[in-house]
Amino acid sequence: MEPPFIGKVALVTGAAAGIGRASALAFAREGAKVVVADVNVEGGEETIALCRALNTDAMFVRCDVSQRDEVERLIALAVDTFGRIDFAHNNAGIEGVQAMLADYPEEVWDRVIEINLKGVWLCMKYEIRHMLKQGGGAIVNTSSVAGLAGSRGVSAYVASKHGIVGITKAAALEYARNGIRVNAICPGTIHTAMIDRFTQGDPQLLAQFAEGEPIGRLGSPEEVANAVIWLCSDKASFVTGATLAVDGGRLA
């Protein structure tokens, strides 16, 4: 049977590693052509090599999603190369630093908001403009369980991820009758480089993170990618404006 996304094009930001890379590879397995975007050129090139090994076309574009000109160029290159953008996973993000709110560095706050929230807005701005021309599409934004509940010491990250939930709902309502579905995924503790930075290689601390999940383990990037694929598929055709927690039961 032919893969369901044959003839479709998927764009994934923050795809040099972790959830973004897993998402790009999941789209490739489903038959889509994949546009990989990231500021990490080496990691991005590795991702497209892995996509091509799955017998699909893939291209890499270096892009800082906080910069309007770079995002506009990304969308233009994707359309010029593949003719369309059917699916977009706006995943690029950073965690900032760990500090109490009153001590949080202003320059780090600004950078977290610029990449995590403004970056999602800019990507949607240009993705939606093209999707309106082609008659529809599906967008998934990466928020977090920190976008649905508070967390100490990471106020900029929490604010940005709550903002993603809000802008996802607003966009879903604005474009629901244009054939464009917009949803958000809210990962829990997923074993990525971000978690490794938090734990600093301490196996006991990593075990504590795992123990804090009701399911008793950390999630994998591939499990999050599976949720992205479902939200983009026809199986989720009546789903828009949703926030899907992929968190092993943590918020429950």
Judge whether 203 lies within some domain: yes
| Mean pLDDT, rounded, for 115-124 | 98
Structural domain containing residue 241: 9-246
Model pLDDT, residue 78: 98
Percent of residues, the chain, with pLDDT higher than 90: 83
Judge whether 3 lies within some domain: no
Count how many domains the chain has.
Answer: 1
Residue 138's contacts (CB-CB under 8 Å, 6 or more residues apart) are: 86, 87, 88, 180, 181, 182, 183, 231, 232, 236
User: In the numeric block, which tokens belong to residue 56?
Assistant: 């699909």
Judge whether 4 lies within some domain: no
Q: What is the pLDDT of residues 191-225, one digit of tens each?
A: 777 776 766 667 777 777 777 788 888 889 999 99
CATH of residue 138's domain is 3.40.50.720
Residues marked as catalytic = 157
Model pLDDT, residue 211: 76
Judge whether 1 lies within some domain: no
- Partners of residue 9 on adjacent β-strands: 33
pTM of the model: 0.94
Percent of residues, the chain, with pLDDT higher than 70: 98
Q: Is-contact 47 16, C-beta < 8 A?
A: yes
Q: What is the pLDDT of residues 33-90, one digit of tens each?
A: 999 999 999 999 999 999 999 999 999 999 999 999 999 999 999 999 999 999 999 9
Query: How many angstroms separate the Cα of 14 from the Cα of each of 39, 41, 88?
Result: 8, 11, 12
Judge whether 130 lies within some domain: yes
